[in-house]
């Protein structure tokens, strides 16, 4: 009898849960937003959550479905969580710029007990605004110019590596780019000589490999479980990283202070902000009675960490994807190389900061690479107060999660005809003028745009120039020429390392 009662009770609970789930899966319909056909547990993301497609492809696919139905937006479910997908470029512009106040946060996990989570990418609202105000001056073009030398020193170390690859006849561009960008960002953010180009086993490179950019499932947990509750459980956004980066940053700062070392990098600027509260374009970072610092040690640790994390993987994939495309188009490769040589010759065999601005075609190759392969293929946002969508009766409730489908837009034939074709001329001034704004935003847009975009573009130009100047790259016989991407990853990662044939020019 007791057993029977238990069975009935379990049945009732199961039925109630099923009814709740069914009601949950009608959230968008009830709010006047077109939705797809969600399945229990998976919502609309079975393929992504079961590890079959990359997150970017899943959201590009949603974009295509809503676009084909001529809808300005649509709603999907990430497991049980409703997620809003804007399609119309005017709406995207409103969300990123005009009505930014409603969408300024990404909804990422951050907690006061988790130092590394207190970084610029993750912080919300006022905390983000204050920090961005303090950090933005460290990324201006004059500061990039100051850091250029430091960046260039690292890029020059590519030369002997490339020579060795030429001797072998083969280059693993995935690996070489990853080592290069690790060395550049380690040098510019932490001021340390990492040399993973020479020694791929160096400590920072190994540590970098262990940094887990949140998988979709982890991202969902972070965005869904109440922040305070997660923080209470001791959850860490970047498990196993804090002790290493804390020591690295504190030791570097102490060493510089003790030995009064001036190095042209972010660390120097952050030290100035910590000690003097202002940037002064000189070697001075010592404390003064009348001055007050505006960054704490913990803030510096978290920002150095995010510059490193956001900086090496994104830039290295972009360089590797660009080299893959250039290997497939020898004529284009020759045109880019001609431009590179012209600039090298003009500046006595050395690309200067001004010289990078003359690498126009190289810049377009990078722009086209980021169109075809935007490493952050969709950008998350969260609605921070109820928002009535212009020209509709739909109100997005506070707390609604949003994914801006960057890859979907970048591959939309309306904006980029023949979207699978790699064509840098899409970024000539005339071609750009024919497209609506916000059909292309690999670095995001508006006040929350990538703070490192300028840095990344200069680095990629210098990296490509160093490779193309000496080497001629082509596809290895028998290699697949279409890139495939790892499923279950937030960032675009090719499933196979990109290896190319390389000969001396």
Residues contributing to the annotated binding site for heme: 450
> Interface with ligand HEM includes 151 (CB under 6 A)?
no
Rg of the Cα trace of the chain? 24
Q: At 392, list the tokens.
A: 């509709």
Tell me whether residue 120 or residue 158 sits nearer to ligand HEM (CB atom).
120
Q: Which helix (H) or strand (E) holds 450?
A: none
Q: Between 28 and 264, whose beta carbon lies closer to ligand HEM?
A: 264
Closest CB 317 distance from ligand HEM, rounded Å: 8
Six token digits for residue 420: 């699978």
Among the listed ranges 35-43, 148-156, 312-320, 479-487, the one in contact with ligand HEM (CB under 6 A) is: 312-320
DSSP string spanning 85-127? Answer: EE-SHHHHHIIIIITGGGS-B-----BTTBGGGSSTTT--HHH
Helices (H), 52-202: 55-68, 89-93, 125-135, 141-156, 158-168, 173-185
Q: Name the binding residues.
A: 450
Nearer to ligand HEM, 54 or 452 (CB): 452
Q: What three-state secondary structure class fits 191?
A: coil
What phi and psi values does residue 84 have, to the nearest 5 degrees? -95, 135
Q: Which stretch binds ligand HEM (CB under 6 A): 75-83, 110-118, 373-381, 416-424?
A: 373-381
Binding mask 456-485 for ligand HEM (x = CB under 6 A): x-----------------------------
- The whole-angstrom separation of Cα 271 and Cα 299 is 11
Residue 422 backbone dihedrals phi, psi, to 5 degrees: -90, 110
Distances (CA, A) of 47 to 44, 51, 411: 8, 6, 20
**CB nearer to ligand HEM: pick between 134 and 337:** 134
Report how far residue 321's alpha carbon sits from residue 65's, in angstroms, rounded to the nearest whole number: 27
Q: Which residue sits closest to ligand HEM, CB atoms considered?
A: 444
In the complex, what is the shortest distance from the CB of residue 216 to ligand HEM, in angstroms, rounded to a whole number? Answer: 16
- Which region, judged by CB under 6 A, interacts with ligand HEM, from 149-157, 320-328, 336-344, 371-379? 371-379
Pairing, β 401-404 against β 471-475: unpaired
- Among the listed ranges 3-11, 21-29, 389-397, 439-447, the one in contact with ligand HEM (CB under 6 A) is 439-447
Cβ distance to ligand HEM smaller for residue 54 or 311: 311
Q: Which residue in the set 54, 72, 75, 452 belongs to the binding site for ligand HEM (CB under 6 A)?
A: 452
Q: Which of residues 318-347 bind ligand HEM (CB under 6 A)?
A: 318
Q: Residue for token digits 């810049």?
A: 363
Question: How many other C-beta atoms can be found within 10 angstroms of the C-beta atom of residue 171?
Answer: 25
User: At closest approach, how far in Å is the CB of 316 from ligand HEM?
Assistant: 9
Number of residues that bind ligand HEM (CB under 6 A): 25
**Cβ–Cβ < 8 Å for 332, 424:** yes
Which of 61, 207, 315, 333 is in the footprint of ligand HEM by CB under 6 A?
A: 315
Beta strands in 422-483 (DSSP E): 471-475
The window from 162-170, 192-200, 228-236, 441-449 that contacts ligand HEM (CB under 6 A) reads: 441-449
Residues that bind ligand HEM (CB under 6 A): 120-121, 132, 306-307, 310-311, 314-315, 318, 370, 375-376, 379, 442-445, 448-452, 455-456
């Amino acid at each position: 009898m007791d057993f029977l009662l238990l069975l009935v009770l379990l049945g009732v609970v199961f039925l109630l849960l099923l009814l709740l789930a069914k009601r949950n899966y009608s959230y968008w319909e009830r709010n006047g937003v077109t939705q797809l056909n969600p399945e229990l547990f998976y919502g609309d993301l079975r393929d992504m959550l079961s590890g079959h497609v990359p997150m970017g492809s899943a959201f590009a696919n949603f974009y295509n479905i809503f676009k084909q139905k001529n809808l300005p937006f649509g709603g999907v479910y990430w497991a049980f969580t409703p997620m809003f997908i804007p399609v119309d470029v005017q709406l995207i512009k409103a969300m990123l710029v005009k009505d930014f106040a409603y969408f300024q946060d990404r909804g990422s996990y951050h907690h006061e007990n988790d130092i590394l989570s207190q970084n610029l990418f993750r912080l919300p609202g006022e905390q983000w605004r204050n920090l961005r105000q303090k950090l933005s001056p460290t990324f201006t073009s004059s500061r990039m110019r100051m850091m250029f030398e430091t960046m260039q020193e690292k890029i020059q170390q590519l030369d002997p590596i490339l020579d060795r690859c030429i001797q072998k006849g083969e280059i693993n561009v995935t690996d070489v780019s990853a080592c290069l960008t690790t060395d550049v960002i380690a040098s510019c953010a932490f001021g340390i000589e990492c040399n993973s180009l020479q020694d791929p086993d160096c400590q920072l490179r190994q540590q970098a490999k262990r940094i887990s950019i949140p998988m979709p499932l982890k991202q969902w947990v972070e965005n869904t479980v109440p922040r305070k509750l997660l923080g209470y459980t001791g959850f860490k956004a970047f498990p196993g990283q804090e002790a290493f980066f804390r020591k690295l940053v504190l030791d570097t700062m102490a060493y510089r202070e003790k030995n009064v070392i001036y190095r042209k990098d972010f660390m120097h600027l952050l030290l100035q902000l910590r000690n003097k509260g202002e940037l002064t374009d000189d070697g001075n970072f010592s404390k003064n009675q009348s001055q007050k610092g505006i960054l704490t040690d913990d803030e510096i640790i978290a920002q150095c960490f995010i510059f490193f994390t956001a900086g090496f993987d994104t830039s290295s994939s972009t360089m590797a994807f660009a080299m893959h495309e250039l290997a497939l188009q020898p004529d284009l490769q020759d045109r880019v190389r001609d431009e590179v040589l012209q600039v090298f010759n003009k500046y006595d065999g050395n690309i200067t900061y001004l010289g990078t601005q003359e690498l126009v075609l190289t810049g377009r190759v990078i722009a086209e690479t980021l169109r075809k392969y935007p490493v952050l293929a969709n950008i998350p946002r969260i609605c921070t107060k109820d928002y009535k969508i212009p020209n509709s009766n739909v109100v997005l409730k506070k707390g609604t999660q949003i994914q801006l489908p960057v890859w979907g837009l970048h591959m939309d034939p309306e904006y980029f005809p023949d979207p699978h074709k790699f064509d840098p001329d899409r970024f000539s001034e005339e071609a750009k003028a024919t497209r609506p704004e916000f059909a292309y935003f690999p670095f995001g847009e508006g006040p929350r745009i990538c703070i490192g975009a300028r840095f990344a573009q200069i680095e990629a130009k210098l990296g490509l120039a160093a490779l193309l100047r000496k080497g001629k790259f082509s596809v290895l016989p028998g290699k697949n020429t279409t890139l495939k991407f790892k499923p279950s990853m937030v960032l675009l990662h090719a499933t196979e390392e990109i290896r190319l044939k390389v000969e001396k020019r």
